[in-house]
Structure 1
Amino acid sequence: MNFSSSLITVKELNDNLSHQNLIILDCTIDKVGQSLQNEKLELIPNSRFFDLEGKFSDHTVNLPHTLVNEKTFSDEAQNLGINQDSIIVCYDRWGVYSSPRVWWMFKTMGYNNVYVLDGGLPSWIENNFETNSIYFQSTKKGDFTADFQEDWFADIQVMLNSINDRNKTIIDARSEGRFNGTSPEPRQGLRSGHIPNSKNLFFENVLDGTTLKSKTELKSIFEKLTNSTNENIFTCGSGITASILAFASTIAGFDNIKVYDGSWSEWGADENLPIE
């Protein structure tokens, strides 16, 4: 079974809950200044916890959420019981926030049968579908094997090579104030401003509350920023909301994408890198 779009509805998921290859991942992390840790834990049945900030982040570098290497990703995915033939559905308890980041991580690790649940847990609850409060623990190790795809990934050198390339569009998901340097950065020690020649699209502008805007609306948004032939490189504060834009752009038909993994947490901290 394959869903027809990378973005699936709660009804589509509910209709396929019994599929033997289905893996449901709760990809929730805290937002800046907001947490769900003290909230009652409600989950879609059979959810497995994807530890985005712990096991699936590289803690050898002083940056948040940095993508781990192939072996670590493979090992941790196998520990979740994920196989090469799994159908992976990512969701979060905010709506659409950190789930696109995990979608991008699997794509970057060479896995295509991965989807994002539109509206996440709030939409699931709104439709009166069943919930529980216990994570599913796999007793059997999976056979997932990562295969890193550099076409999905941007680092400092990629960014430096892209700044003056007219065939590439850099799009920053931070707020207008942070992009323009008129609002403070939430992380200490970072300069204010943005990567030269980048454009600004606040990630909330592709959302309609807890769900993604329609394909038609998204297409209209991205047409004003880029064109169908350009490679689009997304950045933000730490790589999370950049992934929301990256995912939204693929839904809109602009699917030549990269995410700058280090984002402003890396760029803004390096005095040798140019800013505007």
Structure 2
Amino acid sequence: MSFKSALINPTELLESLGQHTDIVLLDCTIDKVGQSIKDVKLEILPHSHFFDIEGKLSDPHSKLPHTLVSPEVFEREMQNLGINQDSTVVLYDRWGVYSSPRAWWMFKVMGFAQVFVLNGGAPAWKNNKLPLVDQYTTAASRGNFKAQFQANMYADKAYILAHYRDALVNIFDARSKGRFSGLVAEPRKGLHGGHIPHSKNLPFEELFDGIVYKPVDELKQQFDHFNATGNEYVFSCGSGITASILAFAAHLTGHEQIRVYDGSWSEWGREELNLPIEK
């Protein structure tokens, strides 16, 4: 099955759950920088699995936070969650919208099409007086999910170095204006302040009305404001999480050439790398 948009609301999801058995619900929650949800009572949608961004789905060999795992690891972990090639995957998080778009990008970069984000996440579901539970479910059987890495949705340091001066490549930074300008210190140690030269600042919070995305026409206006000169959009942030919030919004507004810089400022800003930086 499919939804009309990659962004769905609780009513759409509820109706579909009553009609289809191939929907897999994934809670993709991670802590925010300086804010933890670990001690908050677990309230998740019934029959949810846990999509473990910070654990099983981050490369343990990388010095950087939340780095993408290999296609082989991603495939194995999705099979463990019972996901099949014909499954419909719905992603959400317990903040509203925060880390679920990161999970969306991870599925897309691994070649999986039928993936959707619940607008407002578990809080929106709760606001609609729909039931929540306090335990995850386990897969009844192993899935047949297959990963096919899509290099055209991925950016690393080498790609940014090769393209940051290219007028046809638009780099958007999802961090706050203070961090972008270098006036506010980075929350992670060992990082310069500032931004990738020629990048544009669109703080991720500006895409939201409370816990939900703004309407698509308003999101489009926010991107149009920058008068982009090319069709390729690359998204960066602190560690690749909120960059994905922008990437998903760009997808909703019709942009097809989308990449997320996986290392983001946690890599580019490292003092020992001495990469080009503007303030």
Equivalent residue, structure 2, for 1:264: 265
The answer for the alignment partner of 1:180 in structure 2 is: 181
Aligned-pair CA distance for 1:255: 2.7
Gaps of 5+ in 1: none
Matched-pair contact (CA < 8 Å) for 2:167–2:230: no
Could you tell me which residue of structure 2 aligns to residue 239 of structure 1?
Answer: 240
The C-alpha deviation readout for 1:3-40, integer Å capped at 9, x for no partner, is 01000111111111242110000000000111111111
Unaligned runs of 5+ in 2: none
Instruction: Write out aligned runs for 1:1-276 (5 A).
Output: 1-18=1-18, 19-227=20-228, 229-269=230-270, 270-276=272-278
Inter-partner Cα distance in structure 1 for 2:136 and 2:212: 24
1:250, distance to aligned residue in structure 2 (A): 1.1
- The aligned length equals 276
Q: Does the CA-based 8 Å contact 2:168-2:229 persist in structure 1?
A: no
Partner Cα separation in structure 2 for residue 252 and residue 118 of structure 1: 15
The normalised TM-score by structure 2 is 0.97
Matched-pair contact (CA < 8 Å) for 1:169–1:226: no
Determine what percentage of the aligned residue pairs are the same residue. Answer: 55
Return the letter of the residue paired with 1:11: T
Work out the CA distance in 1 between the residues paired with 2:228 and 2:260. 17
Once residues 271 and 50 of structure 1 are traced to their aligned partners in structure 2, the CA distance between those partners, rounded to angstroms, is 32
* In structure 2, C-alpha distance between the alignment counterparts of 1:188 and 1:226, rounded to whole Å: 34
TM-score using structure 1 length:
0.98
- Partners in 2 of 1:144 and 1:257 — Cα distance? 23
- Alpha carbons 1:27, 1:91 under 8 Å: kept: yes
Secondary structure of residue in 2 paired with 1:16: helix
The residue type equivalent to 1:111 in the other structure is F
**Which amino acid counterpart does residue 168 of structure 2 have in structure 1?**
N
Shift in Å at residue 139 of structure 1? 2.9
CA root-mean-square deviation: 1.0
Please give the per-residue CA displacement for 1:64-116, whole angstroms capped at 9, x wherever unaligned: 00000010000001001111011000000000100000000000000010000
